[in-house]
Amino acid sequence: MTARGQDRLIDISLYSVMAVMLLFFYIPIFTLMAFSLQEGRYLTLPFEGISLKWYGELFNSGPALSALRNSTLIAFFATIVSTVIGTMAAIAVVRYRFRGKSAFQALAGAPLAFPQLLLGIVLLLWFSVLGRWLGFNTGVVTAIIGHIVYITPFVMVIVAVQVYSFDPQLEDAARDCGANTWEVYRYVTIPLLWPGIFSAAIFAFLLSWGNFYITYSLAGSTRTIPTFIFSGIAVGSSPLYPAMATVVFVPGLLLVTAAAALRRRSSRTA
């Protein structure tokens, strides 16, 4: 076989593997979308008909809209706080030397090694003891704190990759032009790190948005999208829940697409 034939065979093999992987990942999602269009009340095959009525039922359902609001609220605040803390931690770890740096890195990354279920149970025990002392119950606030603990290390790792590729001479040039420390961070450091920060924020939002184990452990009686779907499927299957899963999947796909577009634009600008 010629070298050109070998290269073509390798290309075909790689594209075939990629196609199989995409099918493996997306067939369950497309199946879920298909079941959300079923006209019948139960998830059965063959379909009784095709209809969008379950999307109408979804947006007219008070518990479903409440779960959507709670998930959005928890994910929004958890994303803001974890992005700020994770960005500061990433800059500190990469750019500065300080006593106890190795211990800080190990402790900051420790939640990555914890299974979500175990982390949720540990936090639940901690909040149960603290709640008895201070007189509060688990709910939205404890769920936000648990999500922050879980997703901040992911933000730190993602932003740290961007910080590693950052040229500190750009900051030196800004200081030579008379900029103070705040102006250097505002006009040079943060804008150049923004693609990584934005990507980390989107990843954090999606981790919080679809989190089940920590939310189930710490949200108390508050229902979010994952716990609402779980409680509904536990008592019986209905196309309402695939419809809700589809509605949740679309914003996540749009956010990931926006992050990819921003990174490509940043690369072209660089």
CA dist 63 and 72 (Å) reads 14
Is 152 inside a domain boundary? Answer: yes
Is 19 inside a domain boundary? Answer: no
Is 10 inside a domain boundary? Answer: no
Is 241 inside a domain boundary? Answer: yes
Look up the domain containing 163 and give its range.
56-269
- HSE on the CB side for 47, CA within 13 Å? 11
Q: Are 180 and 108 in contact (CB under 8 A)?
A: no
Of 110-114, 124-128, 209-213, 221-225, which gets the smallest average pLDDT? 110-114
CATH of the domain at 243: 1.10.3720.10
Is 34 inside a domain boundary? Answer: no
Name the DSSP letter for residue 219.
Answer: S
Beta bridge partners of 50: 38
Better-predicted residue by pLDDT, 140 or 97: 140
Better-predicted residue by pLDDT, 144 or 115: 144
Query: What type of residue is 27?
Result: I
Q: Determine the average pLDDT of the residues in 90-103.
A: 80
Domains in the chain: how many in total?
A: 1
How large a percentage of the chain has pLDDT more than 90?
A: 7
The label of the residue with tokens 């009784």 reads 48
Of 148-152, 155-159, 172-176, which gets the smallest average pLDDT? 172-176
Is 246 inside a domain boundary? Answer: yes
Q: Are 64 and 244 in contact (CB under 8 A)?
A: yes
Average pLDDT, the chain: 79
Is 27 inside a domain boundary? Answer: no
pLDDT-based confidence at 267, cuts 50/70/90? low
Q: Taking 80 as the threshold, does the pLDDT of residue 165 lie above it?
A: no
Q: Are 140 and 73 in contact (CB under 8 A)?
A: yes
Is 155 inside a domain boundary? Answer: yes
Model pTM?
A: 0.79
Tens-digit pLDDT profile for residues 177-206: 777 777 777 787 788 888 888 888 888 888
